[in-house]
Structures are given as C-alpha cells and as structure tokens.
Amino acid sequence: MAATLVSTLWIVAIGTSVVCFAIKYLGHVIPATWLSSPRFQRINEMVPVVLLAALVMTQTFTTKTHLVIDHRLAGLVTALVALRLRAPFPVVVISAAVVSAVVYHLH
Amino acid sequence: MTRPPRSTVRDSFSVSLAVGLYGIAFGAASSTAGFSLWQTCLFSLLAFTGASQFAAVGVVATGGTPLAAIATAGLLGTRNALYGLQMSPRLGVRGWRRVLAAHWTIDESTNVSLAQGSFGAEAVRAGFWLTGGGVYLFWNLFTFAGALGAKALGNPAAWGLDAAVPAAFVGLLWPRLADQFSRTVALFACCAALGFTPFLPAGTAIIATVIVAVLAGWRPRS
C-alpha cells in the first residue's frame, strides 16, 4: 500500500511537470493563428478564475467526496479579511494558517 | 546584450523575490499532501508554474486520482501557451534558448516583459529573462525551505497548513476578480464545485467546473 502511494505521488509529480512544460513549449512553437479564436481566448481567460474558485471550495469544504465544515473555514474567512485589507500574499497565507490552527486546537 | 534600463532590472528583481516567497507556501502544501522533499522540489524545478503546482498537490491532498491532479494542473497551465504565443516573436530565440524561454514562460515573466514595452524591444527581452530567471531561482529556493519546514512541523492541521492551501488559492484568485463578470463566474464555479463534489470521484469535481468557464466564454460579453 505504501509503495503504491509513493509511486502514485511520483506519477503526479512527473506527469504534472511533463504536461505543464509541454503546454508552455507548444505556445512557443505553434503558429499564432491556432489559438487566436476569440472564443478560445474568452474561455481560456475564465479558466483560472473558475478553477481557482473551485479549488478554494474543495480545499476548504471537502474531505474526499464528503462536504464538511471544520477549522479550515476559519482560515478561509481570515484570508478573505486579509485580502480585503490589502495584506500581502505571505500575510494572507500565514494569518489563515494561524487562525485555522487555533480553531483546530480549541476544538 | 546591451544593459537593460535600471527600472527593468528593479521591476524584475522585486517581482522575482515577492513571487519566489510564495514558494514557501507551495513547499509546505506539497509536503503536507505527502510528497517527499525530492518530489516537491521536482515540481518547482520542472513544472515551474505556481497555480498548477498548487492544484496538483491540492487535488492529491483531498484524495483525488493522479489523472485528476495532472488534468487540473494542465488546465490551469493552458494560459501559459497563450503567453508563449505572445513572447515567442518578441524573444526570437531558437534551440536550447527556446526550450529555456518556454520553461520560464509564466504569469510574472510575461507580464513584467510586456510592461517594458515603452522602453523598447531590448527591455522587453531583458524583462522576460531577468524575471523568468529570478522567479525560477527564488521559487526553487523557497520551495525547498517550505518543504523542509513543513516536514519538521509534523501534523499539518495542528499548524494550520491545511488551511494555508485554500488561502493560497484565494490569494491567487483575488486579483482576477476585478470586474463584476469575473466575480459572477467565480461564484457559479464555487457552487458547481460544491454541487459536483458528492457525485463525482474525488478531484474530478474541480475539472467538471471547467464547464462554467466554457459557458461564460462561449459568447462575447454583451
């Protein structure tokens, strides 16, 4: 079981690296017209917004396929407040971690 | 290469250092998800695209399959292809330099580079290489530091590291929510992600939300 998990993690690390590099390289070598469709550009512009929002939700409110509310919610709320106050990125992440850890220990 | 304008060097350096620091959060997140020190460093050395790296380890952390993790990372990385399209004619390099240029094509190198437009073509190229190389250096150093630190801490929840990952994502998302349309799209994506979660295999709910991006971008905004 442990061996399976380790190789799974290698697959993710190497697979992600290969796919991400291939995408970057494609952008440098394919003819510009291939990706110039306005529809493709509009969708592509929205992809990070959608995926990052989805990741925030799943990383905060799910464990495997279950919806849960736990200490991580306190961290997310803290991060949002920090962003609202125009805090720099490290402050956002660290304050979220600290508040989440405090709530975890209080629980 | 002639000396680039001092402001180009300054912009490149400050962006490199600030962005490189996020590497600590990635190193910690990757470590928390169970990746070894080597695997964590491999992500930053070879994948080298922050949001995709966070996505891959995040999907694994919530129990997703390797395929779901790689696919999510790949989808988040598609914008790099469009950056490459922009940078390729401006850099005009071939061979190994083109491979390196592709590898360093990320949000920061492209944006700093294009922002140098008023200083001439040479500054545009310098902005790309200095920022790409600078972020690469700092991102990898801080990934290593973050992974080492997280390994030393032990139980991630006790230190709030499990909440640091969504906080990092919300920090990456925030600057993309400047207009009402993006905020509405993000809200729909949030609902879709939570709505799909109980019905799809772990990790795939995130990929399924891409349908929201397709619907949002299908027609021009009226």
**Residue A106: other Cβ atoms inside 10 A:** 8
Do A57 and B190 make contact, defined as CB atoms within 8 angstroms? yes
Chain A residues closer than 8 Å to B101 by CB: 28
Do B102 and A14 make contact, defined as CB atoms within 8 angstroms? no
> What is the distance between the alpha carbons of residues B59 and B128, in angstroms, rounded to a whole number?
31
Do A55 and B54 make contact, defined as CB atoms within 8 angstroms? yes
Chain B residues closer than 8 Å to A49 by CB: 173, 176-177, 182, 185-186, 189, 213
Chain A residues closer than 8 Å to B26 by CB: none
Q: Is residue A35's pLDDT more than 60?
A: yes
pLDDT of residue B5: 86
**pTM of the full structure:** 0.81
pLDDT of residue A1: 47
B135 interfacial to chain A (CB closer than 8 Å): no
Rounded to two decimals, the ipTM of the complex is: 0.85
Over chain B, what is the mean pLDDT? 91
pLDDT of residue B2: 66
| pLDDT interval class at B206 (50, 70, 90) | confident
Q: What is the per-residue pLDDT across B108-126, written as a single tens digit (0 to 9) for each?
A: 899 889 888 888 999 999 9
Do B73 and A16 make contact, defined as CB atoms within 8 angstroms? yes
B149 interfacial to chain A (CB closer than 8 Å): no
Mutate to test the interface with B, among A4, A45, A52 (most CBs of B within 10 A): A52
Residues facing A63 on adjacent strands: A66
User: Counting every residue, how long is chain A?
Assistant: 107
Q: What is the per-residue pLDDT across A51-100, written as a single tens digit (0 to 9) for each?
A: 889 989 988 998 878 899 999 999 999 999 999 999 987 789 889 999 99
Amino acid, res. A65: T
CB contacts < 8 A (A, B): 327
Arithmetic mean of pLDDT, A7-16: 95
> What is the distance between the alpha carbons of residues B155 and B199, in angstroms, rounded to a whole number?
29
Chain B residues closer than 8 Å to A104 by CB: 157-158, 160
B103, B171, B216: residue with CB nearest A89: B171
Q: Is residue B7's pLDDT more than 60?
A: yes
Q: What is the per-residue pLDDT across B30-75, written as a single tens digit (0 to 9) for each?
A: 998 999 999 999 999 999 999 899 999 999 988 889 999 999 999 9
Name the percent of chain B lying above pLDDT 70.
Answer: 99
Do A55 and B58 make contact, defined as CB atoms within 8 angstroms? yes
Q: Would you list the DSSP string of chain B?
A: -PPPPHHHHHHHHHHHHHHHHHHHHHHHHHHHTT--HHHHHHIIIII--HHHHHHHHHHHHTT--HHHHHHHHHHHHHHHHHHHHHHHHHH---HHHHHHHHHT-SHHHHHHHHHTGGG-HHHHHHHHHHHHHHHHHHHHHHHHHHHHHHHHH--TGGGTHHHHHHHHHHHHHGGG--SHHHHHHHHHHHHHHHHHGGGS-TTHHHHHTHHHHHHHHHS---
pLDDT of residue B1: 54
Tell me A86's DSSP state. T
